[in-house]
Structure 1
Amino acid sequence: MRKILILILASLTLFASINWYTDFNKAYQESLATNKPLFVFIERLNPPCQWCHKMKTTTLKDPKIIDFIKKYFIAVKLDRDTSDYPDELYPRYVPTIYVIQKEKVIKRIIGYWSKEDFWSDLKDIERTLHK
């Protein structure tokens, strides 16, 4: 019985993921339509960014973080050098995350963050959004 429970929990975690947009304009329109802020993850794909990869495969795979992002945001993942997005969002360093409400950047997060530190920052963002 215990093995079955572990298998079920593992499979739920495996299939839990963020529903990423890859088109900034479509994500922005969805953000306006749903009144949810944008969660913009900007990475560099070529050459590959090790910290972007680590952020995507550890921090952004945490079930608690996934659920939070899915509940509160419209998520969009962009390549710094090839994706089409507003020039003012072009980051000097990657990964960079922007939280945008309407047309205003309310938070910019630069670099890799551990699950614990990122969770703390997400809770701060939640408080800012619900003032």
Structure 2
Amino acid sequence: MKHRTLGDENVQKKLKSYITVKVMRENEDDVKDLPIIYGVPSIFFMTPEKEVIESVVGYFNVEDFLSYISDVEKKILKAKSL
């Protein structure tokens, strides 16, 4: 996923709106403040207060990941309008 999906130009453009952090689960200090990780890769969309908005585990191809990001953005906008 790192090279094919996250390395894609369109995905990188979409993720510029976010703060992205790569965490290696082998380092306990890296994961202590994160929700429980059930598998890899794990992707979390979180608020600045570390509340999970959306999470998913597993590989995405470029098209599916872009669609997933769009779905998360819709969920965020809907929550803000309430």
The answer, yes or no, to whether TM exceeds 0.5 is: yes
Q: Is the partner of 1:116 in helix, strand or coil?
A: helix
Following superposition of structure 1 onto structure 2, how do residues 1-131 of structure 1 map, counting pairs within 5 Å?
A: 55-70=1-16, 72-84=17-29, 85-86=31-32, 88-101=34-47, 102-131=49-78
Q: In 2, are the aligned partners of 1:98 and 1:109 still within 8 Å (CA)?
A: yes
Partner of 1:25: none
Q: In 2, are the aligned partners of 1:80 and 1:90 still within 8 Å (CA)?
A: no
Q: Residues 28-66 of structure 1, C-alpha deviation per residue, up to 9 Å, x if partnerless?
A: xxxxxxxxxxxxxxxxxxxxxxxxxxx000000111110
Q: How many Å apart are 1:86 and its aligned residue?
A: 3.1
Q: Is the partner of 2:60 in helix, strand or coil?
A: coil
Q: Is the partner of 1:98 in helix, strand or coil?
A: strand
CA RMSD, 1 decimal: 1.5
Between structure 1 and structure 2, the one with the greater Rg is: 1
Report the number of matched residues.
76
Could you tell me the TM-score, scaled by structure 1's length? Answer: 0.53
Q: How many Å apart are 1:118 and its aligned residue?
A: 0.7
Partner of 1:41: none
Identity of aligned residues (%): 34
Q: Which runs of 5+ in 2 are unaligned?
A: none
Q: CA–CA distance in 2 between the matches of 1:103 and 1:78? A: 15
Stretches (4+) displaced over 4 A: none
Cα 1:83–1:60 change in 2 (3 A) is farther
Q: Which runs of 5+ in 1 are unaligned?
A: 1-54
Could you tell me the TM-score, scaled by structure 2's length? Answer: 0.81
Q: How many Å apart are 1:90 and its aligned residue?
A: 3.5
